[in-house]
Every structure is written in C-alpha cells, then in structure tokens.
Amino acid sequence: LEPVLPPRDRLQLTLQRQASYFFFPFLATGALVWLKGVWRLSLRDPSGVRSRFARMVDGDRPPLLVCSNHLTLVDSMILAWALSPLRGYLLRFSSLPWNVPEKANFSGTLFWNVTAFLGKCVYVTRGGPREEVRHTLLKLAHLLQAGELVSIFPEGGRSRTGRVDTENFGYGVGQLLQAVPGAEVLCVYLRGKQQGGYSDYPERGDEYEVRLERFRPRTEQGGLRGARDLATQVIDKLADMERQYFADRQ
C-alpha cells in the first residue's frame, strides 16, 4: 500500500479540516453540554491526563495512531473530551483525532453526515469491497503522514464481553501501520467506574479513568502476517493496560 492519495481526496480532507475547525467550538460545546450536563460524566485526574497527552503530541513526533478500547457508542466523544481542553484543540487542531466510524451506522441521515463531516470523520465499510477499504486506508495514512492524529478502535467494534477482545479483532490497524512506516501507537484505555459490559451509553454520573501508553509496534513480517502481528501487539497492549486497571482497582 503506497500512502499516496489522489489530489482530489487530499483537497477534500483539507476542506473538511477547515470546516471542522470553524465549527469545532459549536460542536464541542454541544458535546460538553451533553457529556457533563445531561449525562453528568466526570473524569478522574483530567489535568494529569491532558498534560501527558500534550507532551505526547507536542513538537516533532512520528505519525501517531490513537488506539482505544471500545465499550459505548460515545467513546470517541469521551476520548476527545478527556485528552485535551477545548482551547488545546483550537491551538493545535491536529491533536483532535480523526475518527473512523462504520459507514452503515452513521451515513443514513443528513444530520449524521454533516456531524461526521464536521467531526473529522472518515467513513469505513468493515469487510467491504477491497478497493473501498484500500481507499479509506490511503486517506488515513495520508492524514497520519500529515501530522494529524487518527483514532481507531482496533477491536473493530464494541467488545461484547466488556473486556478487550483478544480473539475477534480485525487486522485493519496492522495494515494502517504498515502503510505508515515509523508510526507509533498511543494506546488509550478508557473506562467508567460503573461500566460493566458493553452498552450504548455510559452510566449516568459515571467517572471515567483514562490511561495512556505510547509505543512502536514492530514486525519482521510483511503482508497479511505482518498486519496480523502488528494488530496483535496493539490489542495485547490494550489488554495489558486493562489488566493493570483492574489490578489497581482491587
């Protein structure tokens, strides 16, 4: 996979980024009202998490792919809220991660299409036609090479067990890492105290803990074996973080 995106797509992503930046204060305010006001969610040690995140994305750095566990439909919103205050994103908009939602879940209505466009989203069709998936990978690789953060859920969906699913994950994250040599991964373990298994929404009033670990997956293998190897390393890292999380809670 050569990370070279046609000029038309590059222009489209640039325009999307500009539009997203312009509307970001409105979208972010709406999201904060929903998360904090309506759902009454809170974060554990937000300043500590945000200062660690800022250090990780400041200055010269390799392409950075954000990989998180996935338990609710609004994890992307919680993740963005947890990693930086609004002014941090306005000063360094590349640190607001692009998201990669499943097309079938979000492209049904004009509202969601506009929201996804302004919310730095690139649709993916999991298990879709090869050319379509490859096109999405090219877009994401281009964004990473351009210094943008891209956030994906390497499990491919919400874990049905409520724990990081080390059995049923896809290898898309591995293919993306292969397309961007030298890329590092920022693993984010995100969980509400009251979260049991997976759910559509968090428990009202829940307090979220966010843990960050940055590493560079490596493999000697190419092709599908290499993609599998890289994806496995990312999932194993998230599973380790989860084990630590529960060990610390006891």
Please give the Cα distance from 122 to 145 (Å, whole number).
Answer: 16
CB of 223 to other proteins, least distance (A): 8
Pick between residue 225 and residue 243 the one whose CB is nearest to other proteins: 225
Q: How far is CA 234 from CA 8, 38, 139, 185, in A?
A: 32, 34, 21, 8
Which stretches of the chain bind other proteins, using CB under 8 A?
Answer: 126-127, 130, 156, 168-171, 223-225, 227-228
CB of 143 to other proteins, least distance (A): 23
Q: Amino acid identity of 109? A: T
Pick between residue 174 and residue 202 the one whose CB is nearest to other proteins: 174
Pick between residue 46 and residue 157 the one whose CB is nearest to other proteins: 157
Q: At what angle do helices 130-145 and 172-179 cross, to 10 degrees?
A: 50
Asked if residues 26 and 187 have their Cβ atoms less than 8 Å apart, the reply is no
- What pairs with residue 214 in β-bridges? 186
CB of 228 to other proteins, least distance (A): 6
Asked if residues 137 and 123 have their Cβ atoms less than 8 Å apart, the reply is no
CB of 20 to other proteins, least distance (A): 30
Please give the Cα distance from 117 to 16 (Å, whole number).
Answer: 6
CB of 108 to other proteins, least distance (A): 21
Q: How many CB atoms lie within 10 A of CB 4?
A: 11
Pick between residue 127 and residue 182 the one whose CB is nearest to other proteins: 127
